[in-house]
Structure 1
Amino acid sequence: MPANNVQKEDIIQQQILQAAQQLFQKHGYQKVTMDDVAKAVGKGRSSLYYYYKNKDEVFDAVMDAEISDIIAEITRMVEQATTTEEKLRAFALTKAKLSRKRKTFFDALESGMSSDEISQYAHKKLNIKKKIRKEEIVLLTPVFVQGAKKGATPTLDPKERESIIFVFTSSLRGLQREFMLDNNYTRMEPAIDMLVRMTMLAIEQ
């Protein structure tokens, strides 16, 4: 396929995903149809089936794009930091900020769902969380490896490093849930600073 055709295909797919994302956020996952998405991009429904077999595939693609955007922004902020401690702090603060920013989108997806539909959607959310966790490991592992290569932090056994990443990211998710319950984030940054210091102590002991 010629390069200009490939580029055109990519643009159309981006338009479909942007339209679907906006519709999901406005009406919830359950109420949006393939006809709605087709109308939003100014194409016939049959045209959408060239790119995606059904709404589930569109949804999965929208979620993959969301995850990619989140990880790309976190990676950018982490790479701007210098030390291991600064990189961990950048990771945590950026992830917390983006989670708050996208909360309305993820909440809106459940709008209008019955209890059975919410149960089915819970399985999708679980897959999304698993994807994000895998990406977090890929992002954070080099932070510890590079710190050790520079002599700034001890060299960790792979299993020990994996455990520290697990505890760090799980603790961060726990903090986010706690502050979301009260919808009050004034103590979020000090809590993240403490989590980062505790993680550094675990690395250096």
Structure 2
Amino acid sequence: MELLAKDELIRSSIIDAAKKLFQQYGLAKTTMEDIARAIGKGKSSLYYYFATKEDIFEAVVLQEKKYITREVELAIQNVSTAEEKLRAFALTVYKELKNKRVIIMNILHADNSAGMCMMNMFKKKYDEIELKLIKSIIEFGIETGEFDRKYENQLDAISLLSISTLRGLQLNSVLYTTEKRNTLGLIDLSIDLLVKSLKK
């Protein structure tokens, strides 16, 4: 048990150090040697926990996903209606993606197949949890009578459409920081339209 706890601590320290290096130098320029040096260990010791820096990056993405999920769930719990939960969901995800902008840009600017694979992995990890959350909010609205029950057989399609719209706005803001459009206003408008279409 003590050995497992020690391994977990080392693994966590590797992920934390790698995240800082990825943010500072980018994925392409960060090496296993850099990560090993940051935690004061030899490169060979890293291979006991991770086979490649891409595996470490995936662990970073998973850690970030867990953090964002926790923040979104807390935001949703702090409001009572389905409409308020949808707004809390959309705005919290937007804020957290903005905070993770450096990590996202590192993936998008990777000019190789590995970078594209990680972009797909990043998107899949976030899509899975967001679809689950927004579907649960709409189900909640139907159960409480806030939303029309006729949509309960279309939850998957509505959730996917909603996530696709919000994700487009969120990533546009992350990628184009000089964009003059009011992203928050557009997100709010998207929620207005979704809620209006779902209500009785």
TM-score (norm 2): 0.88
Deviation at 1:41, TM superposition (A): 0.6
2:36 is aligned to 38
Cα deviations by residue, 1:55-74 (Å, 9 ceiling, x for unpaired)? 22111111111222122211
User: Larger deviation: 91-100 or 147-156?
Assistant: 147-156
Tell me the matched-pair count: 199
Q: 1:120 to 1:162 in 2, by over 3 A?
A: same
Cα deviations by residue, 1:40-87 (Å, 9 ceiling, x for unpaired)? 111122211111112221111111112221222112111212110000
Of 154, 179, 197, 1:160 maps to 154
Distance 1:109 1:175 in 2: 18
Q: Return the letter of the residue paired with 2:129.
A: E
Q: Return the letter of the residue paired with 1:36.
A: D
Q: Return the letter of the residue paired with 2:42.
A: G
Matched-pair contact (CA < 8 Å) for 1:26–1:108? no
Q: 1:191 to 1:79 in 2, by over 3 A?
A: same
Cα deviations by residue, 1:90-147 (Å, 9 ceiling, x for unpaired)? 0111111111111123224566x5x4x2x43122101210121111112122212222
1:56 is aligned to 54
Gaps of 5+ in 2: none
Of 161, 185, 193, 1:198 maps to 193
User: Larger deviation: 98-107 or 173-182?
Assistant: 173-182
Task: Determine if the alignment matches structure 1 residue 135 to structure 2 residue 129.
Answer: yes
Q: 1:107 to 1:182 in 2, by over 3 A?
A: closer
Q: Return the letter of the residue paired with 1:154.
A: D
Distance 1:165 1:100 in 2: 22
Q: 1:166 to 1:65 in 2, by over 3 A?
A: same
User: Larger deviation: 136-145 or 153-162?
Assistant: 153-162
Instruction: Give the match's secondary structure for 2:149.
Output: coil
Matched-pair contact (CA < 8 Å) for 1:83–1:147? yes
Task: Determine what percentage of the aligned residue pairs are the same residue.
Answer: 30
Of 92, 108, 121, 2:115 maps to 121
Task: Determine if the alignment matches structure 1 residue 73 to structure 2 residue 71.
Answer: yes
Instruction: Give the match's secondary structure for 1:168.
Output: helix
Distance 1:194 1:55 in 2: 40
CA RMSD of aligned residues (A): 2.2
Q: Return the letter of the residue paired with 2:148.
A: P
Deviation at 1:159, TM superposition (A): 4.7
Distance 2:151 2:4 in 1: 44
